[in-house]
Amino acid sequence: MLKAGYAQLSRLLNAIANWRYFKPAVFAGCTVPALMLGWKFWHDQLGVDPLKTLLHDSGENALGMLFAALSVTPIRRVFKVNGIQKVRRMLGVWAFFYALAHVCIYLGLDQLCYSFETCEFRAIVNDVLKRKFIFMGMIAFSIMTLLAITSTSGWVRRLKKRWQTLHRLVYVAAISAVIHFVWIQKSDISEPLQWAGWLTLLLAIRVYLSIQKRWATPPRLADRA
């Protein structure tokens, strides 16, 4: 029964991932949160505190895209859906795009840093040092920037095996982003805890799969000697 359900789900996921328009459809899906935010902005539907809404929505979208990118490999390996891999880089770049929008909203609207004259660099540095959640967000954003820059095929070729090691930093970015979210909350941390639960599940699957792979690989002759 469980096996049949698994096989059916795996077939369904493979059919979706191998669909001709899968990649354009995912791309179109990634634009929806930005369009919705633009719509709210344009129609004055950002609520009583528009800046808070803009920061909340852009931050959640960045987190959502980051976690979607992180979920690709576990889904591929657990359900044997190789076709899904082709959207991983795109999801990562979209995560960076939403994080960049989030940081621009913070700099432009919260810190009023939209021109050289209005930018108070010392105030921004003070804010980063004073509010620890901002510092954590900055760590997440710096890693995401590094990963977005090195996500091109040229960098994959240049860094060879080190590329994979570098891109494992995505987990550090995700952990920092969740801590950033937890530290913002004043009392109710149920929302960031849901993200933390998802991240724990993804990490557990990755650890399990790597242990399984190590066990399945026969030891090299040198190791046996």
Task: Please state, in angstroms and rounded to a whole number, the distance separating the CA atoms of residues 135 and 222.
Answer: 46
Task: Please state, in angstroms and rounded to a whole number, the distance separating the CA atoms of residues 137 and 96.
Answer: 13
- Nearest residue (CB) to ligand HEM, 55 versus 84: 55
Selection from 51, 47, 70 nearest residue 59 by Cα: 51
Out of 26, 62, 91, 199, the only residue in the binding site for ligand HEM (CB under 6 A) is 62
DSSP state of 81: -
What would the x/- binding string for ligand HEM be over residues 5 to 44, using CB under 6 A? ----------------------------------------
- Nearest residue (CB) to ligand HEM, 138 versus 146: 138
Out of 13, 17, 30, 59, the only residue in the binding site for ligand HEM (CB under 6 A) is 59
DSSP characters over 190-208: HHHHHHHHHHHHHHHHHHH
- Nearest residue (CB) to ligand HEM, 78 versus 139: 139
Token duo for residue 115: 């021109």
Q: How far is the CB of 192 from ligand HEM (least distance, A)?
A: 8
180 binds ligand HEM, rule: CB under 6 A: yes
68 binds ligand HEM, rule: CB under 6 A: no
87 binds ligand HEM, rule: CB under 6 A: no
- Nearest residue (CB) to ligand HEM, 17 versus 140: 140
Residues 129-148 that bind ligand HEM (CB under 6 A): 134, 137-138, 140-141, 144
Out of 13, 26, 68, 177, the only residue in the binding site for ligand HEM (CB under 6 A) is 177
DSSP characters over 123-149: HHHHHHHH-HHHHHHHHHHHHHHHHHH
DSSP characters over 2-70: HHHHHHHHHHHHHHHHTSTTHHHHHHHHHHHHHHHHHHHHHTT-S-S-HHHHHHHHHHHHHHHHHHHHH
Q: Which residues bind ligand HEM (CB under 6 A)?
A: 52, 55-56, 59-60, 62-63, 66, 99, 102-103, 106, 110, 134, 137-138, 140-141, 144, 177, 180-181, 184
